[in-house]
Amino acid sequence: MKTKSAFVIIVQDDPEAASQIKTAMKEAGILSTSVSTPQAALEVLPRREVDLLLATVRPEDIRLDLPGQVRRRSPRTKVILLLRAPASWQVEEAIAQQAFDVLTSPLEISQMVEAVQGALDSPSPRLPARAARALCDSGQVRQAALESVRALVKAVEAKDPYTRRHSEHVAHYAVQFAGAMGFSASQIESLRTAAMLHDVGKIGVPDHILVKAGRLSQSEFEQIQRHPALGADILSKITLFRTEAGLVRHHHERWDGKGYPDGLAGDQTPLPARIIQVADCLDAMLMERTYKTAYPVEKALGELARCEGSQFDPVLTEVALRWCRWNSDKLILPGRETPKVLSA
């Protein structure tokens, strides 16, 4: 437990409320101080180590990106935003800003303390799962699910700018390959969602590892390998995405059993997850990254063929290669517009 030695800044413009929160924090063994404005909190950060910022923010101020401002001054400081009846776009914005959590006021002080304790003891953000679940529980289920997908994808892109639009690309290829294999409309829609969310677990991987340009150390690579399981854990808590959670967990398994996290071999891995794996690798090869240039199309297809039967399902690989060669105009290459994959 980290709460006993933690230091928290409370941003609250109501002195009486701030005093009550500080008293409750003290009773929980958490050292805290209060300030009346976010700017005052930012001025504290360079002067001492701060574990967490609990900030009451007006909904109209959500675009000020308090989490981003905090992160630039103190990368290890977590931020919990307290908003009054936030709209779904405000929750999405908070996710994109990498807030650790969002609480809705009015809220019992005991619940605030519980949220702070949970954040101090947890390495992974709680907001994406909480937000997506809230969005799914509100309004029309189908539209809410799509909003949840968009919110979670924003979280990945904010965390790892090098995967910007990568999830959309993977969904595009996965849908095309599934269609070529005769998937039903409902199966394709589930696959589309899983493909859009396949890297959501990266929000639990430290930033410096995700953006590292050089070779990863063994320990860093092991942290990267956690992202399928982390993503599955997030999605498994959302009723609408429980099927997709299993696909996200297994999108880095290999046909020869040398993948992760579970070392599944052959058709032990669900077919949709195998499709996402091929789509993921294809886009990674065709797109530019800071550490590599984009592969020419024939080189990328040659790599798919070379790994047929080892990394990739042989039958699926042949389907993918055939589709790519017959539909070269639909390949996403540097400079080409990304196809829309989130339409209902």
Closest to 67 in 3D by CA, of 119, 102, 33, 30:
102
List the catalytic residue out of 22, 78, 159, 202. Answer: 202
For residues 118 and 170, membership in a common domain is answered with no
For tokens 């949220």, name the residue: 115
**Structural domains of the chain, count:** 2
The pLDDT tens digits for 199-237 are 888 877 877 777 777 778 888 888 889 999 988 988 887
Domain annotation covers residue 319: yes
Boundary of a domain, candidates 76, 92, 122: 122
User: Has this prediction a pTM greater than 0.75?
Assistant: no
Among 72, 105, 122, identify where a domain stops.
Answer: 122
Question: Is residue 16 located within the same domain as residue 66?
Answer: yes
**Is 198 inside a domain boundary?**
yes
Q: Which residue has the higher pLDDT, 161 or 22?
A: 22
Asked, for residue 68, whether it belongs to a domain, the answer is yes
Q: Are residues 105 and 189 in the same domain?
A: no
SS3 sequence of the chain = CCHHHCEEEEECCCHHHHHHHHHHHHHCCCEEEEECCHHHHHHHHHHCCCCEEEEECCHHHHHHCHHHHHHHHCCCCEEEEEEECCCHHHHHHHHHCCCCEEEEECCCHHHHHHHHHHHHHCCCCCHHHHHHHHHHHCCCHHHHHHHHHHHHHHHHHHHCHHHCCHHHHHHHHHHHHHHHCCCCHHHHHHHHHHHHCCCHHHHHCCHHHHCCCCCCCHHHHHHHCCHHHHHHHHHHCCHHHHHHHHHHHCCCCCCCCCCCCCCCCHHHCCHHHHHHHHHHHHHHHHCCECCECCCCHHHHHHHHHHCECCCECHHHHHHHHHHHHHCHHHCCCCCCCCCCCCCC
314 and 200 assigned to the same domain? yes
CATH number at residue 279: 1.10.3210.10
Range of the domain at 47: 3-122
Condensed to tens digits (0 to 9), the pLDDT of residues 245-291 reads 999 999 999 999 999 999 999 999 999 999 999 999 999 999 887 66
Q: Identify whether 202 is a catalytic site residue.
A: yes
- Residue 344 maps to a domain: no
Q: Does residue 55 sit in the same domain as residue 203? A: no
Nearest to 197 by CA among 233, 163, 235: 235
Residue 108: CATH number of its domain: 3.40.50.2300
In the predicted model, is pLDDT for residue 343 greater than 50?
no
The reply to whether 288 and 195 lie within a common domain is yes
